[in-house]
Amino acid sequence: MNNYRIMVIDDEKIVGDMAKMSLEQEGYAVETFLNAEPALARLKQEKFDVVITDYKMKGIDGMEVLRTVKKLYPQTKVIMITAFANLDAAIEALRGDVHDFFPKPVKIKELKESIKRALAA
Amino acid sequence: MNAVKKHAPAFFAHGAGLLKSAAAWVLRRPLLQRFFRAQRDFALVFRRFREVLDSNNRALEIITDIGEKLGGEYLFDRVYVRSAYADLFTHIANSIQSFDVLTGNRYPTLHDVFTRIDGRIRSMIEETPSPADLVLPFEDITPERSRDVGGKNVHLAEMKSVLKLAVPDGFAVSAAAYDIFIKYNGLEEAIARLVKDGEIVESERSALEYRIVTGEVPPELDAAIGAAVVRMRDRHRECSLAVRSSAEEEDGDYSFAGQFETVLNVACTKDDVVTAYKKVVASLFSPKALAYQQRMGYTPGALAMAVGCVLMVDAVASGVAYTSDPEGGDRLLINANWGLGVSVVEGRTDADLYTVTKDPEPAVVDIRRGAKELMVQTAPAGGVREVKTAVDLRERVCLTDEQIRELSRQAVVIERYYRKPQDIEWALGRDNRIYVLQARPLRMVTGEEAISSPQAIPDDGKYPVLLENRGVIVQKGVGVGRVFILRRLEDLETIPKGAVLVAKHDSPHFVRVMPSLSAIITDTGAPTSHMASLSREFRVPTIVNAENATEVLKQGQEVTVSVEDEGKVRVFGGRIKGLVDSVRQNFSRLEDLYEYRKKRYVLRYISLLNLVDPLLDDFSLEKCRTMHDILRFMHEKAVSELVESTRSSGAFKNRKTVKLDLPIPTGILVIDIGGGLDMHDGNDTARFEQVSSVPLRAVLTGMMHQGVWHSEAIALKAGDFLTSMMRMSDIVSDGESFVGYNIAVASKDYMNMSLRFGYHFNMLDCYCSENRRNNHIYFRFVGGATDITKRSRRIRFIAEVLKEYGFNLRSKGDLIIARLAQIGREEMIEILDQIGRLIAYTRQLDAVLHDDGAVERYVKNFLSGSYDLSM
């Protein structure tokens, strides 16, 4: 068990479930949310080291999550995942200081490596 | 006049309609269809055939991809599944369209089968079950529905329909029904709140239980249960039901024996069944059931509860039969008491115990009469009651010797079918028949410790490495067991449970034993084969193309197969305890995620294969239950159609075959489908000058290039020759149908050429027109007579050469597929010339590729225009 905290926001339960299971194996503390509002409320209470968020969600979307996270905790790394391998989305996200960007399906191994890099930075 | 004008369009429309129906009528007449098929030009047939194969291959690639993405190594979501499936659907639909034309609509029900499977897959992806998925009569339950209806229901349905045993009639209320019941009553959150810090919160639990029992079933479910109840009453008049749990994994690896509620003697009315249904569903959350689920590693709420509603058997006597002695010993143990079986299952009384040996025929070796003080009967007002057994009954054993033998025979049949010792509930009806009420795997006392120690592969020589980093990974994992080398297909029947199957070739036939295998290793094979997708589905650690595993590994030898990752494939001699199967651990953790399991379940309708052997009667549309089945069915039937049409009268009617008279002995027959040959003399041979097909001419030019065609035979080593003998059947029967070797179908701009030289095949397909957007080259090379190492070297040679010309390629073992598209005609002619040279030059090249370095040297020479073989 390490002390790193990871938040996963995705409106499909399976993404959060699988991410949580895989990342807890690495010793991270993982919290999952199905939409951004409660996730951001939670972020206001507590700092997370990495936030993994879906790009396209109903209500508050991934870009807004990114902006809010960066405003609250500039050091927190944001990893964006999206159902669409959308170049515009990737460019927009990268301009917005995102740590990494993955189209779904995301290889869990690569996600884990990305998290390691994020935490090492 | 005006009136005529006014009516004319209507008349013509009507007339057109008539023509259409006449055409439809004609198409429906088998004899006429045959006539029309017989008149078709082979070139057309061939084109349709290729369309079917192309679409099928693409579809299989998508199936492989979906299997991989849902295999646990990726985060995926519904959007992915939806779009990947849409892609798959399109390719299969295209294939069916071509297939219909190819076969002249010989298989009209294919559309119904496709639509049915598609509907099921879509409702599964969108999680909107159709009413037909909520309640299923036993006769509609097939094995792949085990998640839908739970293990218990599936077993009952199988024993009834496959084993033809006496199983009471019934219907299942599915897991999908459970899902909508939970959703309808807003219980998901209550379920999520059940556990806090690893402990069950009792107040939440009892509240949830109460909300289930008092909950309302959604209207569509209510209606479906109502209809099923009416059907039961129609069939059986005076009847009552047993309403039993059939949780999705119940009676699978874990028995969940006695964990959930069974409500007996329920009146066959909708209201009574619904009440009993809710009771059974609630029992998923009883304290003992939750404790059991936690102990087994399930997250509470991770299981869905399907329910079985089974006709009550008016039982004279009932009990339990074990097909093996759990303490060891291959004999049957049977318990029996008067009345209903609850008294035995719950151990309420001292039952009779019969011991029966199995071989060759069941023989009763011991009868111990129990005291049988109590028995359970149905109560007239519903439910059951326990009564004291009449004294005269107590003193009699419940079954006669003949009844014990009959029960034993049935029990052995069940055990054989499931390949595991079974725990069977039975009842003797007033009609003197033995009924089977339930069958599940019997937990045996094995004494084997669980493997849980940390990852450590010993390197002390105790476990010699027999194979290392060979072959292509199909499924990762660890498998421990005895080697079973499969020489003939019929030996499949004798494979012991837990064996490591080692075979020359992969085969979809393995599906019959796959769930009981520890690992699979084949000498040849492809990761996109039928078998491969099954290995992934059943998660059997599998390596294909391991070259000579059948020689290195010995029959009966104990081995540990460890397939970790690329570069980490090893087979050790001996049984290594403590070798952690991280892959399987990860899977079982994933399997614990209800969401994951639910999403992955769609693969059961996509990638499983039920159609295995085309020579068997059940290779039929009726047996198609998955998309994979449909693809396989079409492939086989398309091949037959093609073969048939080469023999039919009209195939080459206007397109005779013309033998090419070339300076080199290629034995090529050309079928001109328009502008391929410049023939005016009616001869049946053509000289090179008469070849007017642009692509064919280019390839032939290359083949005849000075020095590339070596006529002298290159000696094969004895071993190479033997390999070639064994490989023949394999290559010819792989379904790719190298129909008519050395045939070129050609038009002015197009050509398809299949060439067989010795033991390898070249297939070249190209379109070479003025419009570069239409142009493509598809080249495929497979096989060879030498050992796989040399054949693979030849493939590497070809790959290196083709890369020079910008081909996009894939290769596996001795197969290479290369594509190039959208190039201008002039450039293409040059490339085809080079391919012609390549085809000629590689005929015997493998025999001289004695080491890896040789590949490089020959590539260099070839590219510089030197074609000497004797370096």
pLDDT by residue (tens digit) across B656-692?
A: 778 899 988 888 888 887 789 998 777 888 999 999 9
Q: In B, which residues are within 8 Å of A112 by CB distance?
A: none
Distances (CA, A) of B829 to B690, B702, B743, B775: 17, 10, 20, 11
Please say whether the beta carbons of B437 and B507 come within 8 A.
Answer: no
- Chain A residues inside the 8 Å CB shell of B189: none
> Which of A19, A25, A84 shows the shortest C-beta gap to B75?
A19
Say whether pLDDT at B320 is over 50.
yes
pLDDT of residue B23: 53
Residue with tokens 């239980």: B209
Q: What is the C-alpha to C-alpha distance for residues B337 and B317, in angstroms, rounded to an integer?
A: 6
SS3 sequence, B646-664?
HHCCCCCCCCCEEEEECCC
More confident residue, B36 or B863: B863
Q: Which residues of B touch A13 (CB under 8 A)?
A: 595
Residues 81-100 of A with CB under 8 A from B: 81, 83-84
Residue B596 to residue A107, Cβ atoms within 8 A: no
**Which is it for strands B519-522 and B170-173: parallel, antiparallel or unpaired?**
unpaired
* Distances B772 to B610, B763, B824 between C-alpha atoms, Å: 43, 22, 5
- B27 pLDDT more than 60: no
**Contact A14/B74, CB-based, under 8 Å?**
no
- Whole-angstrom distance, CA of residue B35 vs CA of residue B500: 51
Per DSSP, helices labelled H in A1-121 are 13-25, 36-45, 62-72, 87-95, 108-120
Distance, first Cα to last Cα, chain B:
91
Instruction: Count CB atoms within 10 A of the CB of residue B853.
Output: 9
Q: Is B566 exposed, middle or buried (0-12, 13-18, 19+ CB in 10 A)?
A: exposed
Instruction: State how far the Cα of B714 lies from the Cα of B682, in Å rounded to an integer.
Output: 39
Q: Does the CB of A108 have a partner CB in chain B at under 8 Å?
A: yes
Q: Is B78 an 8 Å CB contact of chain A?
A: yes
Residue B69 in contact with partner chain A when CB distance is under 8 A: yes
Q: What residues of chain A score a pLDDT lower than 50?
A: none
Kind of pairing between the strands at B422-429 and B315-322: antiparallel
Question: How far from B10 is each of B3, B20, B21, B23, CA to CA, in Å?
Answer: 11, 15, 16, 20
A12 touches chain B (CB under 8 A): yes
Report how far residue A65's alpha carbon sits from residue A44's, in angstroms, rounded to the nearest whole number: 12
- At B317, list the tokens: 């006597």
| Range 25-64 of A in CB contact (< 8 A) with B | 25
* B716 has pLDDT over 60: no
Mean pLDDT for B460-481 is 84
Alpha helices in B104-218 (DSSP H): 109-126, 131-134, 146-161, 175-184, 188-192, 202-213
A107 with B599: Cβ contact below 8 A: no
> Is B75's CB within 8 Å of A81's CB?
yes
Cβ neighbours around B96 below 10 Å, total:
20
Q: Given the DSSP bridges, would you call strands A77-82 and A100-103 parallel, antiparallel or unpaired?
A: parallel
- Cα A57 to chain centroid distance, Å, stands at 13
B183 touches chain A (CB under 8 A): no
- Give the chain A residue whose CA is nearest to the CA of B65: A105
Band of residue B137 on the pLDDT scale cut at 50, 70, 90: very high
Residue B378's DSSP bridge partners are: B384
Q: What is the pLDDT of residue A21?
A: 87
Q: Which residues of B touch A107 (CB under 8 A)?
A: 73-74
Residue B10 pLDDT exceeds 70? no
- Say if residue B108 is preceded by a cis peptide, omega within 30 of 0: no
Q: Give the helix/strand (H/E) hosting B54.
A: helix B42-69
Q: And the tokens for B642?
A: 């093609």
Q: How are beta strands B657-661 and B669-672 bridged, if at all?
A: antiparallel
Q: In what order do the strands lie in the sheet with B434-441?
A: B363-368, B352-357, B331-338, B315-322, B422-429, B434-441
In A, minimum Cα distance to B593 occurs at A17
Cβ-contact A36, A64 below 8 angstroms: yes
Phi, psi angles (nearest 5°) of residue B151: -60, -40
Residue B20, exposed/middle/buried by CB under 10 A (0-12, 13-18, 19+)? Answer: exposed
Residue B195 and residue B300: Cα distance in Å, rounded? 8
Residue B704: count other Cβ atoms within 10 Å of its Cβ: 17
Is a pLDDT exceeding 70 seen at residue B449?
Answer: no
Within a 10 A sphere around the Cβ of B381, how many other Cβ atoms? 8
CB A6 within 8 Å of CB A48 = yes
Secondary structure of residue B495 in the 3-state scheme = coil
Q: Cβ neighbours of residue B200 under 8 Å, at least 6 residues apart?
A: B194, B287, B290, B291, B294, B300
Taking residues B815-825, report their average pLDDT: 79
Phi, psi for residue B602 in degrees, rounded to 5: -60, -25
Task: Say how many CB pairs under 8 Å bridge A and B.
Answer: 54
Q: Least CA distance to B74: which residue of chain A?
A: A107
| Cα dihedral B196→B200→B204→B206 (10° resolution) | 180
User: What pLDDT does B463 receive?
Assistant: 84
Tens-digit pLDDT profile for residues B499-512: 999 988 777 778 77
B551 touches chain A (CB under 8 A): no
* 3 state DSSP class of B354: strand
How far is B71 from chain A, CA to nearest CA, in Å? 11
Distance CA B277, CA B178 (A): 10
Query: Which has more confidence, A77 or B48?
Result: A77
Query: Taking the alpha carbons of B229, B234, B240, B244 in that order, is the dihedral positive or negative?
Result: negative
Torsion over CA: B243, B244, B247, B249 (sign): negative
Q: Which of B77, B78, B79, B584 to mutate to test the interface with A (most CBs of A within 10 A)?
A: B77
Bridge partners (DSSP) of residue A31 are: A7
Residue B168: pLDDT band (50, 70, 90) is: very high
Bridge partners, B245 (sequence order): B307
Residue of A8, A9, A14, A22 to mutate, testing the B interface (most B Cβ within 10 Å of its Cβ): A14
Residues of chain A with Cβ-Cβ distance to B74 below 8 Å are: 105-108
Q: How far from chain centre, in Å, is Cα B328? A: 34
Task: Specify whether the CB–CB gap between B75 and A108 falls below 8 A.
Answer: yes
CB distance B339 to B320 below 8 Å: no
Percentages helix, strand, coil for chain B (3-state, rounded to 5) are 45, 20, 35
Asked if B74 lies within 8 A of A105 by C-beta distance, the reply is yes
- For residue B154, name the pLDDT band (cuts at 50, 70, 90): confident
Residue with tokens 């892959």, as numbered in its chain: B583
Strands (E), B578-667: 657-661
* Partner residue facing B75 (CB), from A18, A25, A84: A18
pLDDT at position B34: 57
| Structural contact between residues A80 and A106, judged by C-beta atoms closer than 8 angstroms | no
Which residue on chain B is closest to A81 by alpha carbon?
A: B75
> pLDDT averaged over chain B?
81
Q: Is the pLDDT of residue B735 over 80?
A: no
At B538 the pLDDT is 75
Q: Among A19, A25, A104, whose Cβ lies nearest the Cβ of B80?
A: A104
Indicate if B530 belongs to the active site: yes
Q: Are B485 and B553 in contact (CB under 8 A)?
A: yes
Using CB atoms, which residue from A15, A25, A84 is nearest to B75? A15
End-to-end CA distance of chain A: 20
Q: Of A9, A13, A25, which to mutate for an interface test with B (greatest number of B Cβ within 10 Å)?
A: A13
| Cβ neighbourhood burial of B307 (10 Å; 0-12, 13-18, 19+) | buried
Q: Which of A21, A47, A11, A1 is nearest to A111 (CA)?
A: A21
Query: For tokens 């498998």, what's the residue?
Result: B479
Query: What SS3 state is found at B810?
Result: strand
Contacts of A10 in chain B (CB under 8 A): 77
Q: What is the pLDDT of residues B617-665, one digit of tens each?
A: 678 898 899 999 999 899 778 766 765 665 555 555 566 778 899 988 8
Of all residues in chain A, the one with the smallest CA distance to B582 is A25
What pTM value is reported for the model?
0.60
Least Cα separation, residue B625 to chain A (angstroms): 26
Annotated catalytic residue within B530, B628, B705, B760: B530
Of the candidates B47, B63, B37, B27, the one whose C-alpha atom is nearest the C-alpha of residue B632 is B63
Q: How deeply is B232 buried, as exposed, middle or buried, from its count of CB atoms within 10 A (0-12, 13-18, 19+)?
A: buried
ipTM of the complex: 0.93
**Cβ contacts of B595 on chain A, cutoff 8 Å:** 13-14, 17
